[in-house]
Chains A and B, each alone.
Chain A
């Protein structure tokens, strides 16, 4: 049988590819964390309708959602150095663009992208919180901040979790675009490997398997968290637990 498709290579090169898994995971995690925190702030500002800020953030969200991720990466990669040059010009400073690692541009673009998308799901989740529970918390004498972190955030988080999981998964696969900013992660590593052996198809099959595996692991983890957080319909009987179970 001719060796047109080298199925063995698909698996044997996976360890070499996985050397760059940490880069992919680092970009994903960092952007997700910044994206959730920033997205939450945007959501709060838009819910509270903070004058001026609210409208400009709406424009920001619209822009991010209205442009392709790859274009945003290019904007970050070429735009930040230009901004820096202007800054140097007007402030008589000598910051060198070449000292900034390429990863920074990638993280910037991904974080802002995530923040925009997350802000919308978090906004919806915050608005979905039962008004009766908020009133109950207020009537106990909680300050607005206490109501926010004792009632609104825990309630909203559960609603937002599936959507946040969705964006996490698409972000993880989106990191494969980081090569346009000359950051080497899983996909870029694959391309480099293939350019030596000319076995491009095999490398893409390996990559597909890796991304799929990562997604499955993420899905399982999300499902686990969701199960842990959701209140079961029937009470769980603790066997042998010492408790206050006597009237």
Chain B
């Protein structure tokens, strides 16, 4: 169970996040949608403190973290509870796919080499990248890199997986393979916070959808509620384009 309380962030005079409060149950897949600049990525980045918010408390599994003031030790502990999948994959370029997945296990979790390798290979198998375990990131396609990125995050067995637009940097053909992997991870019961513009996917996989607008959550419900019966005008306008696809192009 994850609880976010009073998360606020300002950049100079712009409010990026405005008093966000959120509770996520174990196994929930929470999708965050909204227009660019609404604060979606910032919200995720605050949760593992790649950005420092003004205020905000995060509770994971009974441990409480004051996001605005963390000691170094707390920071490392917080990051061990969360794992991030990045828009640009952000793999270690000098390491093979296998080494990328093993890295956190060896350095952070201090597992033995044999144990780390075993876990890493199992994760790579899950994302269908076992045959490419010895490839370097630049020898892989974008979709393959992102699958390794997901394996790297899942290998850490995090309490919550943070996915920051995991398919935005991919061409349409590669999106599917990555979405399949994410869906599989969701079905296995991983708790996830997912920022995405893939509305169809969000609809399929999310147990809850948030609509973020100017740093505020203005819509919070099941996928069906938010997509079919949005409350807020802004949400209606945003989803109009998406929903229009189901209408005929011409009516005679």
Please list the residues of chain A having a beta carbon within 8 angstroms of any beta carbon in chain B: 130, 132-133, 135-144, 146, 150-151, 154-155, 158, 231-235, 238, 243-247
CB distance from B65 to the nearest CB of A (A): 13
Tell which of B91, B93, B156 touches A141, judged by Cβ atoms closer than 8 Å: B156
Tell which of B94, B121, B152 touches A244, judged by Cβ atoms closer than 8 Å: B121
**Those 6 A-B pairs whose CB atoms lie nearest each other, nearest first:** A140-B104, A141-B79, A136-B90, A141-B80, A132-B90, A139-B84
Please list the residues of chain B having a beta carbon within 8 angstroms of any beta carbon in chain A: 48, 50, 72, 76-77, 79-80, 82-84, 86, 88, 90-94, 103-104, 107-108, 121, 125, 128, 130-131, 133-136, 138-139, 152, 156
Cα-based distance from A141 to B133 in the complex (angstroms):
23
- The residue on A at minimum CB distance from B72 is A143
Cα-based distance from A78 to B93 in the complex (angstroms):
49
Given that A132-B88, A151-B92 are known contacts, is A146 also in contact with B107, CB under 8 Å in the complex? yes
**In contact, A139 and B94 (Cβ under 8 angstroms):** no
Given that A139-B84, A140-B108, A246-B131 are known contacts, is A234 also in contact with B139, CB under 8 Å in the complex? yes
**In contact, B130 and A246 (Cβ under 8 angstroms):** yes
Tell which of B77, B84, B108, B125 touches A136, judged by Cβ atoms closer than 8 Å: B84
CB distance from B147 to the nearest CB of A (A): 12
Tell which of A130, A154, A158, A247 touches B125, judged by Cβ atoms closer than 8 Å: A247
CB distance from A236 to the nearest CB of B (A): 8
Cα-based distance from A235 to B130 in the complex (angstroms):
15
- The residue on B at minimum CB distance from A155 is B94
Interface contacts beyond A140-B107, A232-B136: sample of 7 additional A-B pairs, CB < 8 Å, sorted by A: A137-B103, A140-B103, A141-B79, A150-B107, A231-B136, A233-B139, A243-B134
Cα-based distance from A101 to B199 in the complex (angstroms):
76
- The residue on B at minimum CB distance from A136 is B90
Name 19 interchain pairs, CB-CB below 8 A, sorted by A: A133-B90, A133-B91, A133-B93, A135-B86, A136-B84, A140-B152, A140-B156, A141-B77, A141-B79, A155-B94, A231-B93, A231-B94, A232-B139, A233-B139, A234-B139, A235-B134, A238-B134, A246-B131, A247-B125
**In contact, B82 and A139 (Cβ under 8 angstroms):** yes
Q: Which residues of B contact A142 (CB under 8 A)?
A: 76, 104, 107-108
Q: Which residues of A contact B125 (CB under 8 A)?
A: 247
Q: Which residues of A contact B48 (CB under 8 A)?
A: 139
Cα-based distance from A155 to B90 in the complex (angstroms):
13
Q: Which residues of A contact B86 (CB under 8 A)?
A: 132, 135-136
Q: Choose among B91, B108, B135 the residue with the greatest number of A CB atoms under 10 Å from its CB.
A: B108
**In contact, A235 and B135 (Cβ under 8 angstroms):** yes
Cα-based distance from A135 to B133 in the complex (angstroms):
23
**In contact, A139 and B139 (Cβ under 8 angstroms):** no
**In contact, B91 and A136 (Cβ under 8 angstroms):** yes
Q: Which residues of B contact A244 (CB under 8 A)?
A: 121, 130, 133
Cα-based distance from A138 to B92 in the complex (angstroms):
12
Q: Which residues of A contact B104 (CB under 8 A)?
A: 140-142
Cα-based distance from A150 to B77 in the complex (angstroms):
19
CB distance from A225 to the nearest CB of B (A): 14
**In contact, A139 and B83 (Cβ under 8 angstroms):** yes
Q: Choose among B94, B121, B152 the residue with the greatest number of A CB atoms under 10 Å from its CB.
A: B94
**In contact, A146 and B108 (Cβ under 8 angstroms):** yes
Tell which of B72, B79, B90, B94 touches A154, judged by Cβ atoms closer than 8 Å: B94
**In contact, A138 and B131 (Cβ under 8 angstroms):** no
Cα-based distance from A201 to B131 in the complex (angstroms):
64
CB distance from A228 to the nearest CB of B (A): 12
